[in-house]
Amino acid sequence: MKVGIVMGSKSDYPVVERAERVLDAFDVEYETRIISAHRTPSVAEEFACGAEENGVETIIAAAGKAAHLAGVLAAYTVVPVIGLPIKSSTLDGLDSLLSIVQMPKGIPVATVAIDGAENAALLAIQILSLRYGELRGKMRAYKENMEREVIRTDAEFRREI
């Protein structure tokens, strides 16, 4: 099982790195690349067209501003693509979010929140868990642990009047 992580620019890496940490915690193999939809479109096409052959089973595409990377990759592959909008300085990431989420009919891209790297990785894991049962078990354990943490925090924080 392998996730392809593609970011439009090296400046996206501080966000992307958080997705890598989640994938590491679930023991999911990944490959991280810098590929620009606008400056290296032939490389984007090559990556997307070869994804299946190279063992990539889902793709996280992180980009800011015009953020066409996820859509370009999705146009060239049947591998599920998850768009990760990156907050840009101009419009606080709203431009990125809208660029990724407004895909034309026939070219779906799942989209997470602006800078939502952890959820992008978790969604990739959930997609992979359809094929790899051990990931489904790890995801159940992750969610159960999250629930226990919230209950513990509530017990410590609870205020009564």
**pLDDT tens digits, residue range 8-55?**
999 999 999 999 999 999 999 999 999 999 999 999 999 999 999 999
Q: What is the pLDDT of residues 54-113, one digit of tens each?
A: 999 999 999 999 899 999 999 999 999 999 999 987 789 999 999 999 999 999 999 999
Cα separation, 76 vs 62, in Å, equals: 17
Angle at 89 between CA 40 and CA 71, to 5 degrees: 40
The answer to whether 128 and 58 have CB atoms below 8 angstroms apart is yes
Q: Look at residue 97 in the predicted model and tell me its pLDDT.
A: 96
Residues forming beta bridges with residue 59, ordered by sequence position: 4, 81
Tokens describing residue 51? 């994804």
| pTM of the entire predicted model | 0.95
Domain ranges of the chain: 2-132
The answer to whether 31 and 7 have CB atoms below 8 angstroms apart is no
Q: Is the dihedral of CA 47, 51, 56, 58 positive or negative?
A: positive
Q: For domain 2-132, give the CATH number.
A: 3.40.50.1970
**Nearest one of 16, 154, 148 to 140, comparing CA atoms:** 148
Indicate the residue type of 18.
R
